[in-house]
Amino acid sequence: MSAAPARRDARPAPARPAGPENAAPVSVRTELVLLAIAIAGVSLSAPLIAATAAPALAIAFWRNAMAVGALTPLALLRHRAELRGMGRRALLLAVAAGALLALHFAVWLPSLHMTSVASSTALVTTTPIWTTLLLRLRGHRPPALVWAGTGLAFLGVVILTGVDLSLSARALAGDALALAGGMAAAGYVLLGAEVRRTVGTLAYTYVCYATTTVLLLAACLAGGVRLGGYSGETWLKLALLTVTAQLLGHSLINRVVKGLGPSVTSTAILLETPGAALIAAVWLGQQPPAVAYPALAVIMAGLTLVIMGDRRKEAALPETGV
C-alpha cells in the first residue's frame, strides 16, 4: 500500500522492527531479484537430495538443524532484543509456521516413494491455489488477474510433470500426502507474511526453523530414521543443501514475502520445478524434457499476471499514510 506524500510538519513515522531490511524502503525490483535468488536456491533442493545418500526425512531435519546452528550467533548476538520483543501473538504464529513447514517436509517426502514423482510434484505445487483460496476465506478479494495467473502458472507445472494418475491404494495415499504438503506450504507462506508485518526476517526465520527442527527430530526418532553414520561426501552435500536451499532459498522467501505478498511469493515457488530440471541437466547430466522450456515460459507468464494483479490492487487502494 502506498503511503501519502510526507509533509515537513508530519509526525515521525512509527518505529519499524529491528533488522537491516528495514533500514530503507526496498524497491519491488530489488525484492524480485531476491526472490529470483531464492528460487534458484530451492531449485537446487531436488537435485541435491537425489544425490545425497541419506534418508529423506533425515535430510529435511539436518538442513533445518544446520540452518539454526548457522543463525544462532546472529540471533543471540545481534537480534536478541528483537527475539525477546516479538510478542506472544507473533511468537505463536512463527511457531505455527515452523510446524507447517515441518508438516510439509514430513508428508511430501514420503509421497515421492508412494506415487510417481510427476504426480507428487504436480500436487505439492498446488500451494499458490491454496494460498489464494485461504486469502479469499480471510476476506481478501484477489483480483481476476491473480486467479488467472495462478491457474496459468500451475498449468505450466502440469505441462512439465504430465498427468500420471494411478488408482492403486498406495499411489492414492501418496497423492493425498503430496496434496497435504501443498496445503501446509500455503499455510506456512501465509503465516510468514503475517508475522513479517511486525518482525524482522532473522527473528522470524530463527523461531520458524527451530520449531521445524524440533518437530522433524521427533518424527525421525519416532520412525527410527538413521541420523548419522554418513560419509564425508554426504555431510558436505547436506551442508551445501543448507546454504543453498535453506539459508538462501527459504530464508530469502521469508524476507520478500512481506513486500511482495503471499500470492506472488507462492506462485513464484512454482519455478522450482523447471529450475530443478534445468539444474539437474547441468549438474547431473540429466537431459531435461523437451517441454521444460515452454513450461517455464507458461509459469513465467502466469507469475507476471499475478504480479500485475497484485500491483493493480495496491494502486487502487486509498492512500492512508500507513
**Which positions ≥6 away from 258 have C-beta within 8 Å?**
193, 196, 197
Q: Does the pLDDT at position 199 exceed 80? A: yes
DSSP string, 31-45: HHHHHHHHHHHHHTH
Q: Write down the pLDDT at residue 5.
A: 42
Regarding predicted confidence, which is higher, 320 or 78? 78
Count of helices and strands (H, E) across the chain = 14, 0
Q: What is the pLDDT of residues 265-283, one digit of tens each?
A: 888 888 877 777 777 677 6
CA distances from 226 to 8, 43, 235, 314 (A): 63, 25, 14, 49
Please tell me whether residue 50 adopts helix, strand or coil conformation.
Answer: helix
**Which positions ≥6 away from 14 have C-beta within 8 Å?**
none
Check if the beta carbon of residue 253 is closer than 8 Å to that of residue 35: yes
DSSP 126: T
Check if the beta carbon of residue 154 is closer than 8 Å to that of residue 302: yes
Across the range 164-187, mean pLDDT stands at 83
Q: Which three cell numbers stand for residue 273?
A: 520445478
Check if the beta carbon of residue 38 is closer than 8 Å to that of residue 244: no
Across the range 92-118, mean pLDDT stands at 87
Q: What is the pLDDT of residues 209-250, one digit of tens each?
A: 999 999 999 999 999 999 999 999 999 999 999 999 899 998
CA distance 170 to 266: 28
Q: Does the pLDDT at position 167 exceed 70? A: no
Q: Does the pLDDT at position 311 exceed 80? A: no
Across the range 80-102, mean pLDDT stands at 95
Residues in the chain: 322
Give the distance between the most distant pair of CA atoms in the chain. 70
Q: Write down the pLDDT at residue 262.
A: 87
Regarding predicted confidence, which is higher, 261 or 284? 261
Q: Does the pLDDT at position 320 exceed 60? A: no
Q: What is the pLDDT of residues 23-33, one digit of tens each?
A: 445 688 899 89
Which uninterrupted H or E stretch holds 245?
Answer: none
- Which segments of the chain are extended strands (E)? none
Across the range 179-195, mean pLDDT stands at 92
Q: What's the mean per-residue pLDDT of the chain? A: 82
